[in-house]
Chain A
Amino acid sequence: MSIAEQPPTTETPELKIVKDATCTFCGCVCDDMELTVENNRITKAKNACVLGKAWFFNHHIEDRPDATIDGQPVTYEAAFDKAAEILLNAKNPLTYGMSDSTSEAQRVAVAITDWIGGNLDTTTSVCHGPSGMAFQGVGEVTCSLGEIKNRADFVIFWGGNPAESHPRHFTKYSLMPKGQFVPNGRKDRTAVLIDVRKTKSAKAANQFLQIKPRSDFELAWALRGLAKGLEIDPDIERKTGISLETLTDLMDRMKKAKFGAILFGMGVTMTRGKHINSEAILALTRDMNRHTRWIAKPMRGHGNVTGADNVVTWSTGYPFGVNLGRGYPRFNPGEFTSSDVLARGEADAALIIASDPMSNFSQPAREHLAKIPSVVLDPKLSDTARTATVAFTTATYGINTPGTVYRMDDVPIPLRPAFESPYKSDYEILKEIERRIRAKQLGV
């Protein structure tokens, strides 16, 4: 019996409880949800955070057509045919999104893009893509979240606000839990927050270092110098807003930690310096291992963006920003990343999966995307779905569909859907499109 089919704890026609369900809203991918489902609607989500609750309660079934072409309701068959036609006729198509979908669906999306020789990119290119590039420069010393829970006695949150972006990170993984070698939980840990503004996360930290905007690189580089015992120019305070004395004290404590962790967010990757900032933090962490154990970890946002990185990598060798137009994978962020391919007006068709670039890409990119034929899969009528040539209403991953999702630390977690959706899943829709494309290509 598959996990998805295992009977829930309690079930009556109107009410069922699903235990050990997984929340796919953010990169925490908490798999300890206990969902109460009444008449195909989740009414309770025990253990869910505020974001998780919003996720579960807002994904009830809406009365929308299965699929539309140019906004007009059509049958699945008609929509599959049209989608396949659009993608087959394109010379330089783009596949984008995928980070809110199962890895099973991601694999089909990658296969389609390979068969048609398109650009292949995920939301990584607009969040932790720079960390991916930094990773290629210096590597990374990291661990699964359970290692932080069980060992970390010093945690630095940098350029992020987990209290609001990943609400259970503190309680489940990084700050509060009693761990194997930190038996007193929070009392055994020191927490430092480094950010440009005092967010809600500051309250949870022992120390808040408010740095000047756009000075993350300088701060990380100064800490690297201190870790190596180099003399640092006191002018660092003018650049970063943090005094040399404070930094020296911080480094002393970092060296005394038994196991330290730097958890960094998009405040690092999407500010001046971008991948150079991530590189500085990864290099600092690496250097700290000459003194004691330290790890670093980017705080990934979307539920399965980590899965998207993995699937694209194992299929092509590269994590994002891939082009398959020559019949084999090439990698070049800035050239093959979606916002760039669109903004330069190069893509002539798009396959957008569970993502909404029309609400967050640059204006030139949005303008071009609105002009070209597109196939959009989304549970909601997003801005992108509104402009689509073919739009599919999809079942929501984790709520309606089984599959696999990778947590921000690359731990793969199975999904236990709460109730069935009348709509098809990304996986099913993409499989149908792939089948049609292949039939056409092979002339069968």
Chain B
Amino acid sequence: MIRRALLLVVLATVIVPTSPRLLDLVRQARAMRPLPWKERREKLMPDLYPAIEKIDESVPLQQPIALVAGSIHDLAFVQPFVNYYLYPHPTISYASRWAYAMARDKPKIIVRLAPNPAVVTYGELRYDEIRRSRIVRNPQLPAEGRSEFMIPIVTSTEGPQPVVYTIEGAIASDGEAHVTLTLEPDGITRTLTIRGTQQFDDLVYQCFGVMRFIDWIRVTSDKPVRAAFWLVNRDARTATPLHLPDGALKHAAAFPDLGRSANLWLVNFDDEPERARIGPHDALLLPHQILGVPADGTVSGAIYAFISRKLPDGATQFIWPEDLK
């Protein structure tokens, strides 16, 4: 009898913690019973499952998918379920964006691994990282406003891991201003409505949704705006201010001889071809073209020119014609 009682005591101690959980199971089943099977899964995985279904529906079965993790957590805890519900969809997992960027023969379709995974472009994936931090934390804007100016060089690109270049900066307006940015030489335009100050952490990608190596931007506005931009090397955490000219060179620019370490950039802001003279040589620039050439003496013509040079700390030094005596 005592022995039986001992068994019953052990039984009671397992019934006590299990009973409320069994009741929960009954309640859970009761709540889900009216729902179709798919909605039951969505209820259990409200972010994940609908997102995976969307991927499954939008990507053809034979099309391989790159699963790119933003963190170790997503790789460990999201990727297994994405694979499970996508199977037999072929996937290749990448631990980071850089792992994807450096891989050969990679799938073109990218899924960002996150609690709500989604098909994204490489640019979106990259911008997800970029927008998490800014190098120019408190951009100082000039006091004077302008209605038209150029950003003579812009970029949204990356070098070998982990080098990432962007343009950071801000545009401010005391009232409401409608600012049109035109990415040249492609001529892609975007109009922004600026009230107060709008900051940018990757100007080209944010405004135009594209990554570019070297372009320039024409900025026009229906009201004067104050603006400042920096070329940022995010890896080196350096930011170099950009001069924002109104137009072409007003007189010949006698750039110093910096040897092969420097690039001379020629920009044609005009709608017509323009001829530039660089020391003893001539160069023809197509409308809106930006062209890099070796620095070779004084530059003249109806174009804009400046020199860039990479410094040992990863920063970029610019020499603007306005800086020359």
Q: Do A and B come from one complex?
A: no
Give chain A's interface residues, CB within 8 Å of chain B. none
